[in-house]
Structure 1
Amino acid sequence: MRPILVFCLPAIGDFIRCHAAIQIIAERFPGQSIDVVTSRLAAPLARLMPHVRKVWVAEKHWKPGLKERARLARELRKENYQAAYMLTSSTKASLVPWLARIPERIGYPREFQFGMVNRLPAGWLKSMVAFGSRKTRLAEQVCAIARRGERPAEDGPLPAPQLVVSPEELAGWRQRNGIDAARPVIALYTSDFANKRSWPMERFVSIARDHAARGWSVWLVGGPRERQAAAEIRAHLPEAIDFTSTPDIAEAMCQIAASTVFLGVDGGISHAAGALGGPCVLIYGSNRAYLHGPVNAQVIFLEPPISTPGWVENTRAVSEDRVREALATAIRKHAPQFA
């Protein structure tokens, strides 16, 4: 059977959301190999995704990029793919499977790449012109492409993206880093405190102190954007462990998978925490969790109260008490030994 290629979105959170579509494709074509194309940043996560055989890297900002895309197309042509699912709407991305002569190229012609995309899902025009409350979520859009626009037999929930860190890999990571598996851990993902999506620094510190006083370890996870925030938290809580200088995103997945509970804000790392399946509490601005949050069932979302002014994007109106209650619920349900 000829393999299938899936062009995924480049940002970490969006790439993880694409795994919902990959699961649908794997169910439709059991036994067929599925490869993905994504950015260099997101590519290391592909090996943690069930059903994915191989990952190709396509940089997002190739300028002008024709030479690089033609080179990638020549490599793809050798694989003899039967179909390419275009979960990204970029014309630059659609150019690659067209140059690779993949016979079936499925997706919405959002940048009017007719011809490069030659199989349009049912209802594609209605989806393209939808706006406001009628516009479908990104997770729903990629699943619609995977289903070719057909509704599932039963209108159930979207497939939940999955990232799987093996027990052996997790045990090796703990051993290399001297982590005591018996000690509970709260992982904090803050984003940049100057970012309106974040939560006030003093509240993160307060929650961290509560857990440290009960014998928990406090881990600060993320990347370059979170390093200053991690330094500010450690200035108030020196015992917190700063993992924001981790050079490999796959190692960051071990950090999250090894934690007992995850507390974070809107961002790609929070999508990873949801996909890894552990207890997860996420703080979002008003009306943003449904559109932009993970669809994993174990995630608890906290937003400003409905009585606050509409379209509140910052999270200050989410109180510490609500966060403490949500963390206690998540731990009691998913890690009762630490409740």
Structure 2
Amino acid sequence: MKTLIIGPSWVGDMMMSQSLYRTLKHLQPTMEIDVMAPAWCRALLSKMPEVNQSIAMPISHGEFALAKRYQLGKELRNNQYDQAIILPNSFKSALIPFFAKIPKRTGWKGEMRYGLLNDLRQLDKQAFPLMVERYVALAYPKQDIHSAKDLPQPILWPKLSVEKDEVDQALATFNIPSDVPLIGFCPGAEFGPAKRWPDYHYAALADLIVKQHAKIIIFGSEKDKPVGEQIIAKMVHGDQCINLAGQTKLDQAINVISACKAIVTNDSGLMHVAAALDKPLVALYGPSSPDFTPPLSNKAEVIRLITGYHRVRKGDAEQGYHQSLIDIKPDQVFETLMKLIVRCEKSN
């Protein structure tokens, strides 16, 4: 059995999609799984043992490019896939498997994909409240799964595989000591300050942690680098903090995160990476809700002071922070983090 997955385009979604790959391999251990996704995803996919190979999607997110999609599909015909599973809900994401003439094409109906998909599923969002459930459901025949309650339990959560020599090399590359506890911060968020815990709170928390003889490592993309600099500038002990935002490739960030004792994070893609690395983590939520895409880990603690989903792009405060995140105080996060670390150490 050979299966092509059309993967998602965001870090968090790609991480959660691993539950589908793990489920497919559990059901059919000899299955070969190829994943077509943006080139940057290869850093994640290479650490998923279930994936046979990643195929770079050369078409940018949002681009229709019908002729390119036809050519890609035509080239894939030689791979002789038995099935394609299309995870994005867009019309265009279903075109390549159709052009590739893959016999069975599975996915949720999405944008009216009749004909493009011949194993079409009608999504009842109330029946599948979690994104990971919607992904995993596609591993099973549609007549067997009508709601999340029908899914075999427990769901196989994402689990990245990282080699020790990769970790050692990443620490050496960035001159990070391996003989002191490392606490990772992921202070960025894709949609801006409204989903971020304030930088001054991160700074205050960092100083509390440094007093416990630990170092702080800040992770993120290039656009998160200024946030990391602001955190260090507002710390009393800024010399005990290393800002790696914008300095690492994704695979290097994954390797360093795996060396951390614990992670404090906003609702972000790196939160899902840390969860898949089985790191104790404290996830800070504001307007976005953990009800749909929570960290998939028994070692995660979510702190949120409001309920429901709030479609907020700009927060209340001058810096764009949302009041519900401002109201989460560093002392509360520090206490939650310390208790979590102790609990996880006792359970190991």
Same fold per superposition (TM over 0.5): yes
CA contact (8 A) 1:278 1:334 kept: no
User: CA 1:173 to 1:3, structure 2 compared with 1: closer, same or farther past 3 Å?
Assistant: same
Residue 339 (structure 2) pairs with residue 329 (structure 1): yes
CA contact (8 A) 2:137 2:151 kept: no
Distance (whole Å) between structure 1 residues aligned to residue 309 and residue 75 of structure 2: 50
Of the three residues 131, 136, 146, the one matched with 2:129 is: 136
Distance (whole Å) between structure 1 residues aligned to residue 68 and residue 8 of structure 2: 18
CA deviation digits over 1:178-214, x for unaligned, max 9? 3322200111111169511111222111110111222
CA contact (8 A) 1:305 1:317 kept: no
Residue 292 (structure 2) pairs with residue 291 (structure 1): yes
CA deviation digits over 1:35-94, x for unaligned, max 9? 111122323210011210101122343644123212321332121111011111121110
What is the CA RMSD across the aligned residues, in angstroms?
A: 2.5
Which residue does 1:211 correspond to in 2?
Answer: 209
Which residue does 1:97 correspond to in 2?
Answer: 97
Residue 320 of structure 1: how far off its partner (Å): 2.2
The number of residue pairs the alignment matches comes to 327
Secondary structure of residue in 1 paired with 2:197: coil
TM-score (norm 2): 0.86
Secondary structure of residue in 1 paired with 2:108: coil
Distance (whole Å) between structure 2 residues aligned to residue 31 and residue 246 of structure 1: 39
Which residue does 1:25 correspond to in 2?
Answer: 24
CA contact (8 A) 2:9 2:61 kept: no
CA contact (8 A) 1:24 1:147 kept: no
Q: How does 1:112-151 map to 2 (within 5 A)?
A: 112-121=112-121, 124=122, 127-128=123-124, 130=125, 136-149=129-142, 150-151=144-145
Question: Which amino acid letter does the alignment assign opposite residue 249 of structure 1?
Answer: L
Question: Which amino acid letter does the alignment assign opposite residue 114 of structure 2?
Answer: F
Question: Which amino acid letter does the alignment assign opposite residue 288 of structure 1?
Answer: S
Distance (whole Å) between structure 2 residues aligned to residue 312 and residue 93 of structure 1: 26
Question: Percent of aligned positions with the same letter in both sequences?
Answer: 22
CA contact (8 A) 1:281 1:326 kept: yes
TM-score (norm 1): 0.88
Question: Which amino acid letter does the alignment assign opposite residue 7 of structure 2?
Answer: C
Q: How does 1:292-331 map to 2 (within 5 A)?
A: 292-304=293-305, 311=310, 314=322, 315-331=325-341
Q: How does 1:27-106 map to 2 (within 5 A)?
A: 27-58=26-57, 59-61=59-61, 63-106=63-106
Residue 155 of structure 1: how far off its partner (Å): 5.2
Which residue does 2:319 correspond to in 1?
Answer: none
Which residue does 2:318 correspond to in 1?
Answer: none
CA contact (8 A) 1:11 1:39 kept: no
Question: Which amino acid letter does the alignment assign opposite residue 52 of structure 1?
Answer: V
User: CA 1:145 to 1:312, structure 2 compared with 1: closer, same or farther past 3 Å?
Assistant: closer
